[in-house]
């Protein structure tokens, strides 16, 4: 109803140099919620990929401005790149693709223009294995989500030392290449999907590693960009991935759940210092980025209604639990920790990842990447039980909305157990 009213009231508005009420209200709502404490500016675009491209432009400008650049036209500094993670995904536009390591989505088979620009670290991930959160490099399994997200200062310190060494090696290589081309790029943005890498396989990156990486990037003056397109707005049972990690980024991107799935819209939030880096004598100093449908009123109205619905106890049966977990800064899964742990003990299940609305099951011995067909049998079996799911290589995942009630979650969980049994993973019905 809100979207229809906005469509009737505004139709299309060219946003350059103007503003309209739904956009203003949405910017304020986002700054007062996920942007609270760090962001003061909102930049609208159309979809997650463009939100990321805007974020990169912001971070790069801030990086250069911090290093004294003022005449952008004659800047002849090094190529700029991102500090990112293996397994990341930031969208399918050309710039967003260049921000990730070679993958099935961006290699020359998909786009001959691809050039991975940056340093991509291999992050430690955690999944429920045999009932506890475990991962390579994790000395002892962690019993529950609260332990996974606990501060764990020793783990942060160990990760930080390893990250610092990798960055020092990158910088040294860049120094050694001064005369030669191509030199490794200067790392001008630390770009992360906070907490969970979505399209990369629903991988929960160890929070201690991301906290360490953010701290090291900060210490080196590399702007922190959080791509919350997938993770933001209650997807992970918290207002944002940043809130789960206790991080204040310089720039963050939102899309997907922003409009409750009705229409595409995206938003990039930025801190005041990032905004300041675009101030100048000339109009040409501004962030000259716009789309035909920037801040489309229908999308803004839908987003305002969606954000209100997520938080409304009258409309959302999970509102109380989500708000309670957010207030106590505790992780929450709508699937139930015990149920997820039980799934992870089934034969044929290599690991389970759950947080907020997400339940992901990795089959077989894992491996094989996106090309793997290991999940195909379970996906087909789920379909026979009336559930349509998309595999990501060996991973099959179910995702509810932040407003899905316990009854529907239980139905989906039962279907997943039956499908695992049907597909002959060795898991019996339980
Ligand atoms: C983390 C992340 N960033 C960016 C994008 C791109 O968003 P869109 O598909 O809306 O362009 C996605 C889409 O899956 C995503 O998961």
Mutate to test the pocket of ligand 1, among 55, 99, 100, 198 (most ligand atoms within 8 A of CB): 198
What is the Å distance from ligand 1's center to 65 Cα?
A: 28
- pLDDT, position 427: 54
- pLDDT, position 429: 47
Q: What is the pLDDT of residues 176-221, one digit of tens each?
A: 755 555 678 899 999 999 999 999 999 999 999 999 999 999 999 9
Q: Which of 101-110, 172-181, 201-210, 362-371 has the highest mean pLDDT?
A: 201-210
- The overall average pLDDT reported for the chain is 93
What is the Å distance from ligand 1's center to 48 Cα?
A: 5
- pLDDT, position 249: 98
Q: What is the pLDDT of residues 291-315, one digit of tens each?
A: 999 999 999 999 999 999 999 999 9
Residue 276 and residue 127 share a domain: yes
Which residues, other chains included, contact 367 with Cβ-Cβ below 8 Å and sequence gap of 6+? Answer: 394
The answer to the question of residue 111 being in a domain is: yes
**Residue 104 or residue 91, greater confidence:** 91
Residue 360 and residue 288 share a domain: no
- Into how many domains does the chain fold? 2
Residue 361 and residue 263 share a domain: no
Q: How many CB atoms lie under 10 A from the CB of residue 21? A: 14
Mean pLDDT of 360-368: 79
Residue 233 and residue 123 share a domain: yes
Residue 106 and residue 180 share a domain: yes
Pairing of strands 266-270, 251-254: antiparallel
Q: Which of 233-247, 364-378, 386-400 has the lowest mean pLDDT?
A: 364-378
Give the CA-trace dihedral at 310, 125, 348, 101, to 10 degrees.
Answer: 100
pLDDT band of residue 72 (cuts 50, 70, 90) is low
What is the Å distance from ligand 1's center to 92 Cα?
A: 8
- pLDDT, position 87: 95
Mean pLDDT of 109-118: 89
* CA-wise closest residue to 123 among 171, 91, 88: 88
Residue 111 and residue 215 share a domain: yes
The answer to the question of residue 331 being in a domain is: no
Strands in 80-85's sheet, in edge-to-edge order, are 41-45, 266-270, 251-254, 224-227, 186-192, 80-85, 118-121
**Does the Cβ of 90 fall within 6 Å of ligand 1?**
yes
- pLDDT, position 416: 97
pLDDT band of residue 174 (cuts 50, 70, 90) is confident
**Which atom in ligand 1 lies closest to the alpha carbon of residue 96?**
4
If you take atom 8 of ligand 1, which residue's CA is the nearest one? 48
The proportion of the chain whose per-residue pLDDT surpasses 90, expressed as a percent, equals: 82
pLDDT band of residue 9 (cuts 50, 70, 90) is very high
Mean pLDDT of 60-64: 95
- pLDDT, position 102: 87
The answer to the question of residue 25 being in a domain is: yes
Q: Are 290 and 16 in contact (CB under 8 A)?
A: yes
Q: What is the pLDDT of residues 114-170, one digit of tens each?
A: 999 999 999 999 999 999 999 988 889 999 999 999 999 999 999 999 999 999 999
Is residue 380 exposed (0-12), middle (13-18) or buried (19+ Cβ within 10 Å)? middle
What is the Å distance from ligand 1's center to 14 Cα?
A: 25
**Does the Cβ of 124 fall within 6 Å of ligand 1?**
no
Pairing of strands 358-363, 349-355: antiparallel
**Does the Cβ of 229 fall within 6 Å of ligand 1?**
yes
The answer to the question of residue 328 being in a domain is: no
If you take atom 16 of ligand 1, which residue's CA is the nearest one? 230
pLDDT band of residue 430 (cuts 50, 70, 90) is very low
CATH of the domain at 9: 3.40.640.10
What is the Å distance from ligand 1's center to 90 Cα?
A: 5
DSSP string covering 125-138, please?
EEEEETTEEE-TT-
Structure tokens, 14: 């060219």
**Does the Cβ of 53 fall within 6 Å of ligand 1?**
no
Write out the residue range of the structural domain in which residue 407 sits.
337-422
pLDDT band of residue 368 (cuts 50, 70, 90) is low
Which residues, other chains included, contact 408 with Cβ-Cβ below 8 Å and sequence gap of 6+? Answer: 400
pLDDT of 374 higher than 60: yes
CATH of the domain at 370: 3.90.1150.10
Residue 288 and residue 343 share a domain: no
What is the Å distance from ligand 1's center to 35 Cα?
A: 19
What is the Å distance from ligand 1's center to 237 Cα?
A: 19
Residue 271 and residue 415 share a domain: no
pLDDT band of residue 68 (cuts 50, 70, 90) is confident
Q: What is the pLDDT of residues 254-304, one digit of tens each?
A: 999 999 999 999 999 999 999 999 999 999 999 999 999 999 999 999 999
């Amino acid at each position: 109803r809100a979207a229809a009213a906005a469509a009737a009231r505004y139709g299309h508005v060219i946003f350059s140099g103007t503003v309209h009420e739904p956009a203003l209200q949405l910017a304020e709502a986002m700054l007062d919620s996920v942007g609270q404490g760090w962001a003061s500016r909102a930049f609208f675009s159309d979809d997650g990929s463009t939100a990321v491209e805007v974020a990169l432009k912001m971070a790069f400008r801030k990086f250069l401005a911090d290093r004294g650049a003022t005449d952008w036209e004659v800047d002849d500094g090094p190529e700029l790149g991102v500090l990112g993670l293996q397994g990341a995904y930031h969208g399918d536009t050309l710039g967003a693709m260049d921000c990730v390591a070679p993958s099935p989505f961006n290699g020359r088979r998909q786009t001959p223009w691809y050039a991975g620009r940056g340093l991509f670290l291999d992050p430690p991930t955690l999944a429920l294995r045999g009932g506890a959160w475990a991962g390579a490099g994790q000395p002892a399994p962690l019993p529950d989500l609260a332990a996974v997200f606990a501060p764990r200062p020793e783990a942060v310190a160990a990760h930080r030392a390893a990250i610092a060494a990798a960055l020092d090696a990158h910088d040294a290589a860049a120094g050694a290449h001064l005369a030669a081309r191509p030199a490794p790029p200067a790392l001008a943005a630390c770009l992360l999907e906070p907490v969970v890498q979505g399209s990369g396989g629903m991988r929960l990156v160890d929070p201690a590693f991301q906290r360490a990486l953010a701290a090291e990037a900060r210490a080196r003056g590399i702007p922190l960009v959080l791509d919350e397109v997938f993770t933001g707005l209650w997807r992970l049972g918290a207002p944002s991935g940043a809130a789960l990690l206790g991080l204040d980024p310089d720039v963050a991107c939102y899309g997907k759940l922003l409009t409750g799935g009705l229409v595409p819209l995206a938003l990039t939030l930025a801190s005041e210092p990032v905004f300041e880096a675009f101030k100048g004598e000339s109009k040409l100093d501004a962030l000259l980025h716009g789309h035909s449908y920037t801040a489309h009123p229908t999308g803004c109205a839908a987003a305002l209604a969606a954000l209100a619905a997520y938080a409304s106890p009258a409309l959302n049966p999970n509102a109380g639990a989500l708000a309670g977990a957010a207030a106590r800064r505790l992780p929450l899964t709508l699937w139930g920790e015990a149920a997820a742990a039980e799934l992870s003990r089934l034969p044929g299940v290599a690991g389970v990842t759950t947080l907020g609305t997400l339940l992901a099951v990795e089959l077989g011995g894992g491996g094989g990447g996106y090309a793997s067909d290991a999940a195909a049998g379970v996906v087909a079996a789920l379909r026979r039980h009336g559930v349509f799911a998309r595999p990501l290589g060996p991973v099959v995942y179910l995702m509810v909305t932040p407003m899905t009630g316990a009854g529907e979650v239980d139905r989906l969980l039962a279907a997943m157990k039956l499908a695992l049994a049907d597909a002959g993973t060795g898991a019996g019905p339980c």
